[in-house]
Amino acid sequence: MLPSESRNPTVSRISRRGVRPPLLSCSALLLPFQFPLSPRALAAAFELGAEPRMPMAVSTVTATHLAPSFPARSRRRRAAPRAAAGGLTARARRLRCEFVAGGGNGALSGEDDPRLVDRQKALDAAMNDINSSFGKGSVTRLGSAGGAFVETFPSGCLTLDFALGGGLPKGRVVEVYGPESSGKTTLALHAIAEVQKLGGNAMLVDAEHAFDPAYSKALGVDIENLIVCQPDNGEMALEIADRMCRSGAIDLICIDSVSALTPRAEIEGEIGMQQMGLQARLMSQALRKMSGNASKAGCTLMFLNQIRYKIGVFYGNPEVTSGGIALKFFASVRLEIRPIGKIKSPKGDEDVGVKVRVRVQKSKVSRPYKQAEFEIIFGEGVSKLGCVLDCAELMDVVAKKGSWYSYKDIRLGQGREKALQYLRESPTICDEIEKVVRAMIPEGSRHMSLLAFGQTSSTEDEQVYDEQ
C-alpha cells in the first residue's frame, strides 16, 4: 500500500510485446484512472490491493510506491535477482494513464458510487458560491425555478394565437413586419387592448408620430391609461423604452416603428449626407441591453418594422427589413403580415376591409412557419367573430356540411355571413365556442391568458415566402 503522505504516487509501467494489456484502476493508489497493464503487472497490482473501478480521468502521472522486482528490459537478458522477503522492493516506477476509445471515461457506476456524492456536493457548493457572489438566482435548477414554460397572453386575434401556440410570449422580443397598410399597427393596438383587459400596463412608442386616439379607442384600447411616447430621435426612444422596461411595471411596449428610429447624428446632419450603419448600430446596441431587461421584468417588446428592397436582386426574395439584422437574432417571434384580398360591402360597391395572412417566420416558443388568416374591418379592427368561426371550423368544434354551419345541435346559419350574424346576435354561444377553442390550442408554450399580469402560474408550487 502507498504511504498516505505520498503526494506523487506511481505505478510501474510494465508491458509485454504482442499482448494487449487489460485495463485496471488502482484503488490502492487512490487514482481512479484506467491503466493498460500487462499480465505480470496485473498480478503485481492485485498484490498492491488494486481493484477494478470506473474510469474517470486521463493523464500521464508518476508516483512512487512499493512495486515487485521484475527483470529490466535490455538487449542482454540478465538473471533477475530474487525478490526480497514478501516479493516487494521499494522502487520508483512510472505509469501512463491513457484514454480508451469508446470506453466509459468519466462515467458513473450508479447512485451508490461515492464519487457521485462527491460530484453532487461539489456542484451544490459551486452553485452556492456563485449565488453568494452574483446574487440569489444567478444559477438555479430549472425545475425549482418554475420557469419550464413560457407564459403567453392573447394577441387579440384567435387564429393568430392558434398559430403561435397560445399567444404572444411574455418577456420576449417580437417583430411584426410587412408592407404598408397591411395591419401592423392594428395588430399592435389589439395586443395593447388585451393587456389592458388583463389588468396590465402597456406603452406605445410612436416614433412615426401617427397615433390616432379615436381609432385606438374603437379597437378597445383604454386611451386614458395608455402610456404614449413620441420621441425626437432613436436614442431617446430606445432609452425611454429601456427605462420603462426596467421599472418592472410595464407588461407590453410597442415601438412603431423601427424604420422611424432615426439616429441623432442623422437628424443633426444635412439631408443627403451619408450615414452608414448608424441605425443598425443603434439597434444592435439597444437590443443587447433591452432583451435581458425585458426577460427579467416580464415585459414584451413588440417592434413594428417596414420592408425595403435590395438592389440588383434578380432571383429570390428582394425584400429586407430595415434596422440591420440584430433584431432578427434577438426576436423570439417574427411575424410577417401581408394583405391577400379586399372585403366588399354586402352591395359590393365599396371595400369595407382587408383580409390578411400572418406567417410565423420565426418562433423560439412554438412551431414556426404556421399561418393565420383573418379579416380587418376598417374602423373596427380584427373581426373577432370571424376568427372564432374560422378557428372553430378548423378544429372541428363547428361543423360545416355543405354551406350550413352548426355547433352541437345548434344550426348557426347557411353561409358564412349568416353564421357570423347568428354569433353576433348570440354572444353567449360565441363565448362558449371561444372557450372551447382556446382550451384546444396546443401548448407549444404555456397559455396564461386567464391569469392577470403579475400573478404566478401553477407550475411554480427556412425563410419561406409565398408568392402572391
Model pLDDT for residues 360-380, shown as the tens digit of each residue: 999 999 999 999 999 999 999
Per-residue pLDDT tens digits for 46-92: 555 555 544 444 333 333 344 444 444 545 555 555 544 444 444 44
Asked whether residue 173 falls in the same domain as residue 270, the answer is yes
For residue 389 the three cell numbers come to: 368561426
* Assigned domain for 396 exists: no
* Assigned domain for 463 exists: no
Asked whether residue 203 falls in the same domain as residue 134, the answer is no
**Higher local confidence (pLDDT), 134 or 65:** 134
Asked whether residue 127 falls in the same domain as residue 59, the answer is no
Asked whether residue 132 falls in the same domain as residue 74, the answer is no
Per-residue pLDDT tens digits for 163-196: 998 899 999 999 999 999 999 999 999 999 999 9
* Assigned domain for 325 exists: yes
E strand or H helix at 203, and its extent? strand 202-206
Secondary structure of residue 43 in the 3-state scheme: helix
* Assigned domain for 455 exists: no
| Centroid of chain to Cα 429 | 37
What pLDDT score was predicted for residue 442? 64
Asked whether residue 66 falls in the same domain as residue 130, the answer is no
- Strands 307-309 and 202-206 come out as unpaired
Q: Is 417 exposed, middle or buried (0-12, 13-18, 19+ CB in 10 A)?
A: exposed
* Assigned domain for 403 exists: no
* Assigned domain for 442 exists: no
Per-residue pLDDT tens digits for 443-456: 433 433 333 344 43
The mean-pLDDT minimum among 34-38, 81-85, 334-338, 339-343 falls in: 81-85
Q: Does this model's pTM top 0.95?
A: no
161: CB partners within 8 A, 6+ apart: 152, 154, 155, 167, 438, 441, 449
- Strands 173-177 and 333-344 come out as parallel
272: alpha, beta or left, given left = phi > 0 and alpha = psi -120 to 50? left
Per-residue pLDDT tens digits for 149-167: 789 999 999 999 999 988 9
Indicate the residue type of 467: E
Does residue 440 carry a pLDDT above 80? yes
For residue 225 the three cell numbers come to: 391609461
* Assigned domain for 436 exists: no
Spatial separation of the C-alpha atoms in residues 376 and 338, rounded to whole Å:
12
Say if residues 305 and 330 touch (Cβ distance below 8 Å): no
Does residue 12 carry a pLDDT above 50? no
Tell me which of 377, 408, 424 is where a domain ends. 377
For residue 11 the three cell numbers come to: 505505478
Helix%, strand%, coil% for the chain, nearest 5: 30, 25, 45
Total domains in the fold of the chain: 3
Asked whether residue 120 falls in the same domain as residue 231, the answer is no
Does residue 18 carry a pLDDT above 80? no
Asked whether residue 132 falls in the same domain as residue 155, the answer is no
Domain, as residue range, for 130: 114-138
* Assigned domain for 212 exists: yes
Asked whether residue 356 falls in the same domain as residue 309, the answer is yes
Q: Please, which pLDDT band fits residue 134 given cuts at 50, 70 and 90?
A: very high
Say if residues 69 and 81 touch (Cβ distance below 8 Å): yes
Asked whether residue 355 falls in the same domain as residue 259, the answer is yes
Say if residues 35 and 95 touch (Cβ distance below 8 Å): yes
